[in-house]
Structure 1
């Protein structure tokens, strides 16, 4: 399951829990209340498992070959690695089309970053981190 699918599923679980909670507030029958409570616990457990998957997705480890697929072309996201951290630059206005002042997404751009930004990590602080670069 990819990040977008997880996001949709997590929102669905939240909606189900909210609706079940409202049902619980208006249910008088003890047996029905127990059934609703069980359904709520099921949705909570499902949410916890999905969050674990989401965390694994966010902590993905990329090889340089895998990273090269994320160059911003053909509808792919644009990722760059700097100091071993992989950032998503897809929505960054200065990275239109997966390029930025001659640098191309899909690779380890640590040396280019150092040349231009002199280790000024503030340039990266607003970019989503999607994983690490496998050495």
Structure 2
């Protein structure tokens, strides 16, 4: 069907005009030209992501800040000025904020007897009240 339409079109156009229809467009005139300058490309979600670019901190500076923080926390613990400590732990598919001598009620089957100590291996956070101010 498309071939017969093209044939009718070429028969209706005579001479040089018919020859120009068969020539391909130069690359600079085609719609898929990649020679456009970046300034001509509009800013869209396809040309640039819609979120801001994330700049990662310098690893050397981050290491120094970590060392200072660990030293400060260790000195507070050694001096006994840490206040009441708490932790956020993961247990029985939930997160719990616990302090020393807290009781956690779990609805379900736990393979432990009453009074047994349970080791919580997934600690999410450890802090004191002074760290939260």
| More relative contact order, 1 or 2 (CA 8 Å, 6+ apart) | 1
Q: Same fold (TM over 0.5)?
A: no
Max Rg structure = 2
TM, length-normalised to structure 2: 0.25
